[in-house]
Amino acid sequence: MTRAAPVRSGIIGTGFMGTVHTRAVRAAGGQVVAYAGRDLDRTRKVADAQGVELVLRPEELISHPDVDVVHICTPNAQHVALATAAIRAGKHVVCEKPLALTLAEADALDRLAVESGVVNVVPFVYRYYPAVREARARISQAGERIWLAHGHYLQDWLADRETYNWRIDEGESRAFADIGVHWCDLFEFISGHRISRLSARFSQLHDRRTGPSGDVAVDTEDAVTMLFETDLGATGSVVISQASRGRKNRLWMELDGEAMSYSFDQETPDRLEIGSTEGTLVVPKGAETTRDSAAVAPYLLVPAGHPQGYQDAFTLLMAEVIEAVRGRAVAGMPTFSDGVRAAAITAAVVASSESETWSPVASTELQRSA
Ligand SMILES: NC(=O)c1ccc[n+]([C@@H]2O[C@H](COP(=O)([O-])OP(=O)(O)OC[C@H]3O[C@@H](n4cnc5c(N)ncnc54)[C@H](O)[C@@H]3O)[C@@H](O)[C@H]2O)c1
């Protein structure tokens, strides 16, 4: 039997995500053949540390014949131009979230990717925890009617006025576009519901921060409080914050069904809590505990009791990217259409916070598949 040639990745942007993607591609059996960045000397240093040979300019990486998949791990404002160029060059694309700064741009990019027939992925990576798959499978198998959803996604890295980052002055939303979209994607993925209308309120801890050029005004939100309704009749609420002291990456959600409740915490991702009136059952991830082996086993990298974390979730995502590049359909892999969905929810959040009224979420994905 001949072995399939390795799928070769080129990564643009070599900060936090660039190195997470690098480790994940390699662990999934792919190769990282090139890096590109804004500053070639800095990119060369990261390339040396990671053992990546080629350091190119972004446009050179995109057109390089040895690159099969272009990973876009740059700040958000560069996503559309780089992804468009990569698709036009016939490359498969993994583009970090948010796919674009506006819904119209995200939608155009998705259409281009679909028309071009390239594999297109947005790393909504929290889908790749076994406990998430377990919750999704149990809710679906039991036909559980989810009537209420609640949760939060809290971080504290922007709690200090002196902290500055490129995210602070990009786009009309910061906290929601950056992390709120992960919560909504995970909620919709687990429950099968779609958020149809929402009421959102932005809050700012700091309206001025110490930026690279001194004291600057800040327009983007530090937090969002949101109420929502879904197409399947549930209601919910979520708080998103990047300035809640003591919370590092606490994505927590609970889905209340008629018979059971299901809760998941990204910071203890190996366990699913299932509540009933008799008490709460903690289900550890594992082959012995799953109710749906077909749905969950592919996401069990190590046996029960052996922790599986964020980087592992990325490995599982990249393994699916490689499968898709090899022409095998992968259900549940987050694509550009999920990035469009996130952009539609973000647009509704911005509209609602500005108008101080409820806003509908544009149903681009539903119209297209109708
Ligand atoms: N899926 C997830 O879980 C997740 C988590 C964190 C970040 N992200 C996303 O990943 C992307 C990168 O975030 P990060 O935290 O790695 O940021 P980062 O600041 O750590 O890294 C960004 C990198 O891009 C480089 N860069 C800047 N401008 C560039 C340009 N014009 N061309 C090429 N390179 C350029 C920077 O030099 C830096 O190396 C963002 O879109 C962010 O939203 C996703």
Ligand 1, residues 19, 44, 70, 74: which to mutate, most atoms within 8 A of Cβ? 74
Residue nearest (by alpha carbon) to ligand 1 atom 9: 96
- Give the domain extent around 101: 8-125
**HEC profile of the chain:** CCCCCCCEEEEECCCHHHHHHHHHHHHCCCEEEEEECCCHHHHHHHHHHHCCCEEECHHHHHHCCCCCEEEECCCHHHHHHHHHHHHHCCCEEEECCCCCCCHHHHHHHHHHHHHHCCCEECCCHHHHCHHHHHHHHHHHHHCCCEEEEEEEEECCCCCCCCCCCHHHHCCCCCHHHHHHHHHHHHHHHHHCCCEEEEEEEEECCCCEEEECCEEEECCCCCEEEEEEEECCCCEEEEEEECCCCCCCCEEEEEEEECCCEEEEECCCCCEEEEEECCEEEEEECCCCCCCCHHHHHHHCCCCCCCCCCHHHHHHHHHHHHHHHHCCCCCCCCCCHHHHHHHHHHHHHHHHHHHHCCCEECCCHHHHHHC
Q: Check whether residue 138 and residue 176 sit in a common domain.
A: yes
In a domain, 311, yes or no: no
Indicate whether 145 belongs to any domain.
Answer: yes
For residue 314, is it within any domain?
no
Q: What value does the mean pLDDT of the chain take?
A: 96
> What's at 15, amino acid-wise?
G
Q: The domain that contains 93 carries what CATH number? A: 3.40.50.720
pLDDT of residue 106: 98
Task: Count structural domains, the chain.
Answer: 2
Q: What is the mean pLDDT of residues 152-157?
A: 98
Residue 137 lies in a domain: yes
Same domain as 97, residue 242 = no
> How far apart are the C-alpha atoms of 370 and 353, rounded to whole Å?
30
Same structural domain for residues 100 and 202?
Answer: no
What pLDDT score does 2 carry? 67
The residue out of 65, 96, 125 marking a domain boundary is: 125
Same domain, 294 and 149: yes
Same domain, 212 and 194: yes
Residue 367 reports pLDDT greater than 60: no
pLDDT digits (tens, 9 = 90+) for 281-295: 999 999 999 999 999
Burial of 304 (0-12, 13-18, 19+ CB in 10 A): middle
Q: Is 362 within the bounds of a domain?
A: no
Q: Looking at residue 258, which CATH number applies to its domain?
A: 3.30.360.10
Model's pTM, two decimal places?
A: 0.97
Q: Evaluate if residue 370 carries a pLDDT over 50.
A: no
> Last residue of some domain: 102, 125, 148?
125
pLDDT of residue 74: 98
- Residues within 6 Å of ligand 1 by CB: 12-17, 37-39, 58, 73-76, 78, 96-97, 123, 125, 178
118-137 confidence digits (pLDDT tens): 999 999 999 999 999 999 99
Per-residue model confidence as pLDDT tens digits over 205-249: 999 999 888 999 999 999 999 999 999 999 999 999 999 999 999
At 10-26, the pLDDT tens digits run 999 999 999 999 999 99
Examine the fold and report which residue of 82, 101, 125 is the final residue of a domain before the chain moves on.
Answer: 125
**pLDDT over 70, % of the chain:** 98
Ligand 1: residue of 11, 14, 16, 109 to mutate (most ligand atoms within 8 A of CB) is 16
Tell me, what's the pLDDT at 250? 98
Q: In the predicted model, is pLDDT for residue 366 greater than 50?
A: no
**Where does the pLDDT of residue 356 fall: very low under 50, low under 70, confident under 90, or very high at 90 and above?**
very high
Question: Quick one: 155 and 296 in the same domain?
Answer: yes
pLDDT tens column, 169-186:
889 999 999 999 999 999
